[in-house]
């Protein structure tokens, strides 16, 4: 099979998209940021390596931003006569229904809206990307890759909440987990780095960005993860509170806060923003260097929560092959990695600080004395989506070698 795959990853404030050849070589990329009232910024590179920079000084919503991005892709693909074999979409929540790459057809399109109640902040945007891409490329097969799929083998004792069954007619409450596509890439990249098979590895993946999660992987299988029914649970994040005593919300509700206000509180105005008034880790680190008390507290709380999860997952896994840092903060904030790892030497994690300071994509920052490797892995969710779609198409081709 030869041709190109376009992968579209739609978020609530940004769109990431990449074009791959069928041998998984990245060929072009576009990223759109529309998270501020200042306007829309689209940047990337075309198939010739030429930079793309497009700024519109008017506010954009998801639909308007997708229109700009997909029009760019239409121009690139049409003008260069590129055979587009598939379009892949990252879909955040697949509940218990979807555990693998899924071809999108009319039946799937009818079912996907039923998942909006599981991830109302994410899935509607993912569906919009599917709908608009189909309008732009009506003759191209589309596929959904679900972020929860990697965690579908979490055992019931780790995945179930201590609640009665059948509390809701619309949803099943369970630890579905997220960042699964990123975790799968970290597992494969770690296996390549350590020259071992994925099913021989026990690793802890820290995906640290605006959203943050910790995942325990045993013998190549996710067995526990910090995010749960929603991406709000677990670690402290940019605007999400992470682990929280549920009585706090009930108390606030009794004091008059509406469900919408509580939703806004725990998903947008808590976490780092709630502690120090700033959700950007780069800015928080700068303020901490100037001895800002609330910034220092935010860093302490952020790293302390992560340390607790590392300790818990070490207890669950026993031997840990590697601790992986990925995501925007995990990859780029050496000071955060240092804070997290300081004091974890008894657990077998010893950092090489010069290597930590100089870490680039896919680096080993562990000292010689470290029992477990400490790796910095560049997150490549779009590549994982492309690989899964290609594997699906190859399997279908093997099942039907004559194309019938």
Query: Which sequence positions are flagged as catalytic?
Result: 147
Q: Give the residue among 267, 257, 186 at the shortest CA–CA distance from 227.
A: 267
Q: Which positions ≥6 away from 400 have C-beta within 8 Å?
A: none
> Burial letters for 31-46: b for 16+ Cβ neighbours within 10 Å, e otherwise?
bbbbeeeeebbbebeb
Q: Give the residue among 15, 14, 73, 9 at the shortest CA–CA distance from 47.
A: 73
In angstroms, the first-to-last Cα distance of the chain is: 16
- Alpha-carbon torsion (373, 380, 16, 144), positive or negative: negative
Provide the phi-psi class of 347: left if phi over 0, else alpha when psi is between -120 and 50, else beta: alpha
Distance CA 333, CA 274 (A): 21
CA 165-166-171 angle, 5° bins: 115
Residue length of the chain: 404
Cα torsion through 356, 358, 364, 369, rounded to 10 = -50
Q: Which two tokens stand for residue 174?
A: 């369970």
Q: Give the residue among 384, 331, 386, 382 at the shortest CA–CA distance from 14.
A: 382
Distance CA 29, CA 327 (A): 18
Alpha carbon distances (Å) from 93 to 89, 122, 320: 12, 8, 28
């Amino acid at each position: 099979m030869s041709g190109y795959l376009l992968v579209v990853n739609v978020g609530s404030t940004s769109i990431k998209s990449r074009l791959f050849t069928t041998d998984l070589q990245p060929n072009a990329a576009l990223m759109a940021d529309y998270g501020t009232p200042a306007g829309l910024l689209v940047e990337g590179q075309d198939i010739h390596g030429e930079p793309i920079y497009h700024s519109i000084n008017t506010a954009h919503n998801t639909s308007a931003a997708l229109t700009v991005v997909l029009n760019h892709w239409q121009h690139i693909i049409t003008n260069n006569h590129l055979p587009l074999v598939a379009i892949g979409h990252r879909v955040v929540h697949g509940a218990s229904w979807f555990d693998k790459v899924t071809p999108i057809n009319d039946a799937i399109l009818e079912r996907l809206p039923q998942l909006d109640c599981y991830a109302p902040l994410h899935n509607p945007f993912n569906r919009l990307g599917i709908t608009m891409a189909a309008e732009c490329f009506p003759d191209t097969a589309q596929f959904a890759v679900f972020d929860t799929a990697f965690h579908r083998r979490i055992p019931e004792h780790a995945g179930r909440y201590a609640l009665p069954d059948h509390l809701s007619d619309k949803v099943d409450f369970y630890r579905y987990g997220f960042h699964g596509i990123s975790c799968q890439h970290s597992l494969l990249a770690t296996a390549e780095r350590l020259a071992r098979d994925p099913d021989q590895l026990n690793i802890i993946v820290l995906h640290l960005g605006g959203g943050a999660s910790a995942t325990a992987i045993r013998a190549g299988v996710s067995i526990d993860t910090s995010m749960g029914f929603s991406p709000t649970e677990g670690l402290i994040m940019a605007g999400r509170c992470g682990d929280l005593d549920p009585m706090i919300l009930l108390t606030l509700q009794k004091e008059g806060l509406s469900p919408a206000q509580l939703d806004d509180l725990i998903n947008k105005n808590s976490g780092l923003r709630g502690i120090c008034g700033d959700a950007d880790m780069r800015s928080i680190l700068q303020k901490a260097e100037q001895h800002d008390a609330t910034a220092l507290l935010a860093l302490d709380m952020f790293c302390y929560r992560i340390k607790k999860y590392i300790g818990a997952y070490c207890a669950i896994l026993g031997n840990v092959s590697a601790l992986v840092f990925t995501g925007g903060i995990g990859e780029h904030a050496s000071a955060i990695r240092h804070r997290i790892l300081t004091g974890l030497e008894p657990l077998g994690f010893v950092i090489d600080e010069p290597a930590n300071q100089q870490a680039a994509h896919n680096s080993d920052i562990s000292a010689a004395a470290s029992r477990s490797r400490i790796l910095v892995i560049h997150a490549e969710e779009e590549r994982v989506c492309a690989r899964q779609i290609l594997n699906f198409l190859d399997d279908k081709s093997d099942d039907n070698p004559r194309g019938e």
